[in-house]
């Protein structure tokens, strides 16, 4: 019969296994940095509560502004004034270089206000359109249309500019001579409702048109050329050939800029491409001999020139990127809706506020929020204000405001 050999039971007193202490589990390494703690508490305390169920809907807010405007020019001034926040002098997280870059970027933007933003502030779209048409006819407001930026309100292709702002930009441009400034202003007065003119109707010389294109007040486009004629001369004699460009390598010293065609090699050979004609510089010199010939071809073919403002491209890039970022912040919620104040906090990046509770936490040495200069609002959008971006999104039909009846106004994606 097999025997199982086992040790005798010990009489030693055994201590029960200790459970992990609460103090150890709440250490700084387990919770992470103070910034993550604040973000986690904010999302779990407020954001999670709003994502459990939909917000109560007491009706859509038709007009974004809480007060009425006298006319469209007053609404345009209002949008211009609320575009950016003031740069903080203390505890901003911005050094002198960043502050100068921000201020220079703001001053370089054109005074354009999208038509969609105006419709978001005024509650009568038809009346607003009629007033805009009357103001354009009277020469008080000019309309800017950027092709290729989508259709409808969401495309942000239509903008309004006060004529006095347009004239001020022309006066402040140092690269234009006084007589050319007077001719350009007279051209605007003679065609108050025109967004573009045929080149044959412009009473300016080739050099003057080139100077205005270089300054950003004109764009000359050639839409008749196809994709196969991008590098071809507009004239019929060399259509479809690259001999004029290929000969540049044998006419200049090897290793120089001219050996590869020079600056704007396509336009140097007389080509204009299939889109906007723009080159630099456009002054009359031996290196720009192709510009008068190309402009003459544009005149004969009936091409048009659009009235534009400098730095329109950076303005549109800022607009589209800001709208996309605000939409991404809103869609983080479960039902793609959030209270207006909560969405504003997300846009600001959870910065430290000046309320008494934040001041008391700061006096005790506790974490109250990040500096403004460390947020995306200032690093990428140069202090773009939440109300301005919200107006663009509402006017473009990307968002809508509604009254919750309990926590103020709410925002939902459409």
Each of the 414 residues of the chain gets a pLDDT tens digit; together they read 555 555 555 666 666 665 555 444 444 444 455 555 544 444 444 444 455 678 877 878 877 877 788 899 999 999 999 999 998 776 677 888 889 999 999 999 999 999 999 999 988 889 999 999 999 999 999 999 876 555 454 555 689 999 999 999 999 999 899 999 999 999 999 999 988 888 778 888 888 888 898 899 988 765 444 444 434 444 433 433 444 445 545 555 565 555 555 544 444 444 444 333 333 333 333 334 555 666 666 666 667 788 999 999 899 999 999 999 999 999 988 888 988 888 998 998 866 555 666 667 666 766 566 777 888 899 899 999 999 999 999 998 899 999 888 788 889 998
Question: How far is the first Cα of the chain from the last one, in angstroms, to the nearest whole number?
Answer: 83
Report residue 22 as tokens: 């609460």
| The predicted structure's pLDDT at residue 156 | 55
| The predicted structure's pLDDT at residue 44 | 45
**Residue showing tokens 């091409």:** 303
Report residue 87 as tokens: 């740069």
**Residue showing tokens 């479809």:** 240
The three-state secondary structure class of 150 is coil
Sign of the Cα pseudo-torsion (313, 185, 153, 83, in order):
positive
Could you please report the per-residue DSSP string of 240-255? T--HHHHGGGGTS-TT
Give yes or no for a contact between 67 and 365, defined as CB atoms under 8 angstroms apart: no
Q: CA dihedral in degrees (171, 176, 179, 182; nearest 10)?
A: -40
Report residue 174 as tokens: 């140092």
pTM: 0.69
Q: CA dihedral in degrees (272, 277, 282, 284; nearest 10)?
A: 40
| The predicted structure's pLDDT at residue 255 | 57
Q: What span, in angstroms and rounded, lies between the C-alpha atoms of 259 and 131?
A: 56
The kind and range of the H/E element at 189 are: helix 178-190
Give yes or no for a contact between 123 and 403, defined as CB atoms under 8 angstroms apart: no
- Which residues is 23 bridged to in the sheet? none
Q: CA dihedral in degrees (240, 245, 249, 255; nearest 10)?
A: -130
| The predicted structure's pLDDT at residue 280 | 37
CA angle 406, 411, 414 (to 5 degrees): 135
Q: What span, in angstroms and rounded, lies between the C-alpha atoms of 118 and 64?
A: 10
Closest CA to 43 of 332, 328, 327: 332
Cis peptide upstream of residue 297 (ω within 30 degrees of 0): no
Q: What span, in angstroms and rounded, lies between the C-alpha atoms of 286 and 13?
A: 104
């Amino acid at each position: 019969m097999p025997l199982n050999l086992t040790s005798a039971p010990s009489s030693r007193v055994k201590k029960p296994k200790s459970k992990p202490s609460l103090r150890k589990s709440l250490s700084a390494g387990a919770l992470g940095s103070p910034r993550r703690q604040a973000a986690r508490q904010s999302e779990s305390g407020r954001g999670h509560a709003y994502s459990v169920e939909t917000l109560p809907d007491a009706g859509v807010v038709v007009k974004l502004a809480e007060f009425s405007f006298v006319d469209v020019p007053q609404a345009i001034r209002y949008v211009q004034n609320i575009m950016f926040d003031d740069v903080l002098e203390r505890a901003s997280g911005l050094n002198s270089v960043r502050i100068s870059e921000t201020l220079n970027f703001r001053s370089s933007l054109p005074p354009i206000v999208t038509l969609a933003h105006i419709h978001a502030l005024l509650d009568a779209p038809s009346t607003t359109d009629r007033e805009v048409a009357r103001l354009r006819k009277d020469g008080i407001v000019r309309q800017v249309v950027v092709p290729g930026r989508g259709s409808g309100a969401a495309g942000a292709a239509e903008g309004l500019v006060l004529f006095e702002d347009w004239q001020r930009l022309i006066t402040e441009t140092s690269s234009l001579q006084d007589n050319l400034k007077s001719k350009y202003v007279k051209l605007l007065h003679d065609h108050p409702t025109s967004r573009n003119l045929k080149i044959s109707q412009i009473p300016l010389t080739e050099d003057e048109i080139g100077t205005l294109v270089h300054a950003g007040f004109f764009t000359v486009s050639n839409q008749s050329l196809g994709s196969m004629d991008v590098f071809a001369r507009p004239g019929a004699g060399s259509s479809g050939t690259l001999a004029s460009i290929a000969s540049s390598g044998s006419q200049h010293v090897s290793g120089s800029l001219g050996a590869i065609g020079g600056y704007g090699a396509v336009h140097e050979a007389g080509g204009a491409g299939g889109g906007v004609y723009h080159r630099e510089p456009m002054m009359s010199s031996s290196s720009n001999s192709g510009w008068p010939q190309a402009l003459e071809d544009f005149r004969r073919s009936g091409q048009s020139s659009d009235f534009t403002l400098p730095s329109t491209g950076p303005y549109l890039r800022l607009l589209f990127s800001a709208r996309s970022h605000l939409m991404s912040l809103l869609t983080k919620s479960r039902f793609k809706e959030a209270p207006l104040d909560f969405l504003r906090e997300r846009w600001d990046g959870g910065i430290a506020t000046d309320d008494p509770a934040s001041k008391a936490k700061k006096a005790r040495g506790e974490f109250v929020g990040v500096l403004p200069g460390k947020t995306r609002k200032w690093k990428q959008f140069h202090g773009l204000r939440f109300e301005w971006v919200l107006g663009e999104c509402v006017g473009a039909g990307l968002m809508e405001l509604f009254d919750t009846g309990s926590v103020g106004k709410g925002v939902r994606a459409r």
